[in-house]
Amino acid sequence: MPLTDPAFLRRLPDGLALQLRAQPGARRTALELTPEGGLKAAVTAPPEDGKANAAVIALLAETWRLPKSTFDVVRGTAARDKTVKVVGDAASLAGRIAEWVSKHG
């Protein structure tokens, strides 16, 4: 039986859309689940010149072992609440993320 998709994830024809809250200027870099089931990306990079967005993408890529080039911030580039698109096979990407959620939830 497949795992259900987390609340922050939406499947697209060519990948996934992830809703997350970024926390730039954090003390440490970490990807966490919020108590409400959302996704929070804490990064040490400052929120200037796209540095925090690049750090969020690097964190997601490292956490889920995917190339950085598959990620793109499609909404909220200058806001804390962001939509990040992940290009690829939606089913395998969702499975990989759901597995991470089950280990870190």
Dihedral sign of CA atoms 10, 34, 31, 2 in order: negative
Report angle CA 100, 80, 73 to the nearest 5 degrees.
65
Q: What is the pLDDT along the chain (105 residues), one digit of tens a residue?
A: 455 899 999 999 999 999 999 999 999 999 999 999 999 999 999 999 999 999 999 999 999 999 999 999 999 999 999 999 999 999 999 999 999 999 987
Q: Say if CB 75 and CB 19 are below 8 A apart.
A: no
Token pair of 62, please? 């490292």
pTM: predicted TM-score of the whole model, two decimal places: 0.94
State which fold the 9-99 domain adopts: Conserved Hypothetical Protein Mth637; Chain: A; (3.30.1200)
Distance CA 9, CA 98 (A): 9
